Amino acid sequence: MDVNKTVGQPISRLEGKLKVTGAAKYAAEYQVENLLHGYVVNSPITKGKIINIDIAKALAIPGVIDVLSHKNRTKLAWFDVQYTDMDAPPGTVFKPLHNENILYNGQPIALVVAEDFETARYASTQITFEFEQEAFETNLQNNTEKGRPAKKGFATALKPPPPPPTGDFDKAYGQAAVKVEAEFKHGTEHHNPIELFATTTVYKGKGKLTIYDKTQGTINNQLYVANIFGLHYKDVRVLAPFVGGGFGAGLRPQYQLFLCVMAALHLKRNVRVVLDRKQMFSFSHRPPAIQKMRFASDINGRMTALGHSVYAETSNFEDYTEPTANWSHKLYPSPNTLFEHNIVPLDVYTPMDMRAPGGSTALHAIECTMDELAHKLKIDPLELRLINYSEMDPSSKKPYTSKALRECYLQAAEKFGWSNRNPEPRATMRGNKLVGYGMATGIWDAFQFPARVEAMITKDGKLVLNNATTDIGTGTLTVMTQIAADELGLSLEEVDFQYGDSKKPFSMFQGGSAITSSTGVAIVVAAKALRKKLLKKAAQMENSPFKNASDEEVIFNGGNLHLKNEPGTYVSLKNIIAFNKGKAIKTTNMGKPHMLKLRKYSLATHSASFVEVEVDQDLGTVTVTRAVTAVAAGKIINPKTAKSQISGSMIWGISKALHEETIMDDHFGKYINTNLGEYHIPVHADIGQLDVIFAEERDELINEIGTKGVGEIGLVGMPAAISNAIFNATGKRIYKLPIHFDELI
């Protein structure tokens, strides 16, 4: 019997209509009675102390309820508790309104609470602060001598330090036939999801709270609130059914959550706090980095030495780190290696994961250095990658569970027309535009977190699933519904995946491209247990043909349970539930990575990006006219939502290469382009033709469903491919991102 399969089909987002019609509600859109509105006041100074706060004028404004600051904040559990959140780096977490100390520019220093948002915002302008300012340091380049390795902590497993040195790097590099030494600089970037960070807290009395929050992790924020405010975790419910983008900014609870909950508990009222766009630049960001590269090869292009030293920003209170120097040796074998990742503490807020953290910064430097090496060797850049191709992970000496990178290279090169590339820079013109081709490799993790799923068949024969994960716009709802439908042989309409609620069984935050594998595997495990229960119940029915049937002898399809060899013999799921006195049959199960087995392997997704650019000879402006990215990420559950993830991250790659940067004015210790007018991101007219290819990759080892995740891998190779294409077009190699027209004139 053929069972209809939905996995592998390009299904449109099930919640798409709700989103485009505005019916989907976001954290700041819930109608709540007697709601108060909080407006955050941010520090205008970078370092020092608050000497005095005068709130009298603000309090006198009709409609203003209170102004909370470190002077009058209520006694809450927070300041005695060490707990922070599941993505906290080692260090001391930032505590809003803790005391008079200012640690960074933009730090929240007060919350005005009023009957409406406009009154709260106006009142915030009527508060007078006196500060005592201290000297500060915000410049990475000037402070590299403070660089040191990050302390180890809870998140170290996901963000390991670079591998130890091998061979004799200095000797090998010194004697190498061909070498490239280069230093790359990357600017700060701020996550700017379209949905502003916002929290609506419904005060239910007796320490009970329902919180609508903009977050990537409902349970992460539930535990944070419960722990720091000394509440029972069952009394705190965090809901995030729709999330307007995250990109990593929602992996940690942001300060509006803390301030909103504090005000709600203090005033015993319902409170909402929404940040404005400028305030979206007052917390986490991708850290600026300096990368010193030293790569060498023999005259045939075989790598003999890989050296990669990183200096990246962190705050003065937490050791943020990301895997950056870890990647080159996961791609290219080399007998001699030297990798370092140094963090440089500055007077800024702690950086945070942003789409492919570390990887997207690292691969720019690695793949531009490879391009320069290829140019010196007079070897085609793709050929150089193939000369150094490794089936196994050279850094761990372990085989990959699967690696279809070669297929990515070949399929994307073919589709792009790489063979037409002229290796000579400045040799191809189109009108007054210089045309260049560039390519680069991408590599990223393939994570899986433990997850629990409750699965049940209800009395109308439908499959209902529960899991606390969010869907930050990735297609999670659709993908989970597909996986579940296939497991029970149902149509998509017969499956109801419920999510975005901390009350539901465990999920980590949605990050690290991990949720398809995490919740997806838990669904498969739960579905298997559910099928067993349904068969057992069916076997108890009167004259049941399933009495002696084993799991392997039955099949679920079309809402029925069939004997495999006698498809005409069946019982409907509805009848099984009716026989169960109308009670749903349910099970809750855990899916988790098979650590013991996987310890013997290396796990990664791979990609290859090929880009054509046009550079205006007179103006230096760059246009990415077309790009092809091929991705190997195991099984693709939904080619439509997966393609959307990859093309979205390719666009971010264009942004990272050519547009996006938050500019720090080191004189004031302050970002100066904190708005979407001056923080440049590409518009529609900046994007040419984008093609996405999924190379076939069957991975029977990695997990029960063979998936590796597609959220981040599409970004990783793009900045280097663009930079390399600009070199091919102009003969200029620009060692920084973003690349601006003034450097190309």
Smaller CB separation from ligand MOS, 320 or 437: 320
Question: Closest approach of Cβ 87 to ligand MOS, in Å?
Answer: 9
Tell me how far apart the alpha carbons of residues 621 and 577 are, in angstroms, rounded to a whole number: 66
The residue from 353, 372, 445, 697 that contacts ligand MOS (CB under 6 A) is 353
Q: Establish if 96 lies at the interface with ligand MOS (CB under 6 A).
A: no
Smaller CB separation from ligand MOS, 301 or 711: 711
* Helix or strand holding residue 643 (H, E): helix 639-658
Binding to ligand MOS by CB under 6 A, coded x per residue (else -) over 541-570, reads: ------------------------------
Phi/psi at 70 (nearest 5 deg)? -65, -20
The residue from 354, 374, 413, 651 that contacts ligand MOS (CB under 6 A) is 354
Instruction: Return the CA Rg of the chain.
Output: 27
CA dihedral 355, 359, 365, 368 (to 10 degrees): -90
The residue from 108, 187, 287, 357 that contacts ligand MOS (CB under 6 A) is 357
Asked if the bond preceding 738 is cis, omega within 30° of 0, the reply is yes
Question: Closest approach of Cβ 509 to ligand MOS, in Å?
Answer: 8
Considering CB under 6 A, how many residues would be counted as binding ligand MOS? 11
Tell me how far apart the alpha carbons of residues 511 and 357 are, in angstroms, rounded to a whole number: 11
Binding to ligand MOS by CB under 6 A, coded x per residue (else -) over 495-514, reads: ----------------xx--
Smaller CB separation from ligand MOS, 649 or 723: 649
Smaller CB separation from ligand MOS, 323 or 461: 323
Find how far residue 533's CA is from the centre of its chain. 37
* Helix or strand holding residue 261 (H, E): helix 255-267
Which one of 353-361, 415-423, 455-463, 600-608 is the stretch in contact with ligand MOS (CB under 6 A)?
353-361
Residues between 199 and 218 with contacts to ligand MOS, criterion CB under 6 A: 216
Reference 507, options 495, 520, 496, 492; nearest CA is 520
- 327 close to 208: Cβ distance less than 8 angstroms: no
Question: Closest approach of Cβ 338 to ligand MOS, in Å?
Answer: 27
Which tokens is 483 given? 């996986």
* Helix or strand holding residue 102 (H, E): strand 101-102
Tell me how far apart the alpha carbons of residues 305 and 332 are, in angstroms, rounded to a whole number: 10
Smaller CB separation from ligand MOS, 332 or 444: 444
Question: Closest approach of Cβ 216 to ligand MOS, in Å?
Answer: 6
Question: Closest approach of Cβ 524 to ligand MOS, in Å?
Answer: 23
Reference 717, options 608, 604, 603, 605; nearest CA is 608
Tell me how far apart the alpha carbons of residues 142 and 140 are, in angstroms, rounded to a whole number: 6
**Number of helices (H), then strands (E), in the chain:** 17, 31
Which one of 52-60, 301-309, 348-356, 574-582 is the stretch in contact with ligand MOS (CB under 6 A)?
348-356
Smaller CB separation from ligand MOS, 187 or 511: 511
- 510 close to 215: Cβ distance less than 8 angstroms: no
Question: Closest approach of Cβ 361 to ligand MOS, in Å?
Answer: 12
Tell me how far apart the alpha carbons of residues 653 and 648 are, in angstroms, rounded to a whole number: 9
Which tokens is 111 given? 């919350």
Question: Closest approach of Cβ 472 to ligand MOS, in Å?
Answer: 7
Tell me how far apart the alpha carbons of residues 714 and 680 are, in angstroms, rounded to a whole number: 20
- 456 close to 631: Cβ distance less than 8 angstroms: no
Smaller CB separation from ligand MOS, 162 or 351: 351
Question: Closest approach of Cβ 224 to ligand MOS, in Å?
Answer: 17
Which one of 40-48, 354-362, 485-493, 608-616 is the stretch in contact with ligand MOS (CB under 6 A)?
354-362
Smaller CB separation from ligand MOS, 357 or 669: 357
Reference 736, options 290, 310, 328, 336; nearest CA is 290
Smaller CB separation from ligand MOS, 136 or 247: 247
Binding to ligand MOS by CB under 6 A, coded x per residue (else -) over 511-530, reads: xx------------------
Residues between 174 and 193 with contacts to ligand MOS, criterion CB under 6 A: none
Question: Closest approach of Cβ 356 to ligand MOS, in Å?
Answer: 7
The residue sitting closest to ligand MOS, measured at its beta carbon, is: 248
Which tokens is 17 given? 């209509």
Q: Establish if 709 lies at the interface with ligand MOS (CB under 6 A).
A: no
DSSP state of 426: T
Question: Closest approach of Cβ 352 to ligand MOS, in Å?
Answer: 8
Smaller CB separation from ligand MOS, 144 or 647: 647
Smaller CB separation from ligand MOS, 456 or 713: 713
Smaller CB separation from ligand MOS, 291 or 474: 474
Distance between first and last Cα of the chain:
66
Tell me how far apart the alpha carbons of residues 88 and 352 are, in angstroms, rounded to a whole number: 9
Tell me how far apart the alpha carbons of residues 135 and 144 are, in angstroms, rounded to a whole number: 18
Residues between 222 and 251 with contacts to ligand MOS, criterion CB under 6 A: 246-248, 251
Tell me how far apart the alpha carbons of residues 610 and 718 are, in angstroms, rounded to a whole number: 8
Question: Closest approach of Cβ 711 to ligand MOS, in Å?
Answer: 7
Reference 497, options 474, 518, 512, 479; nearest CA is 479
Smaller CB separation from ligand MOS, 64 or 715: 715
Q: Establish if 355 lies at the interface with ligand MOS (CB under 6 A).
A: yes
Tell me how far apart the alpha carbons of residues 561 and 559 are, in angstroms, rounded to a whole number: 7
Using CB under 6 A, list all residues that contact ligand MOS: 216, 246-248, 251, 353-355, 357, 511-512
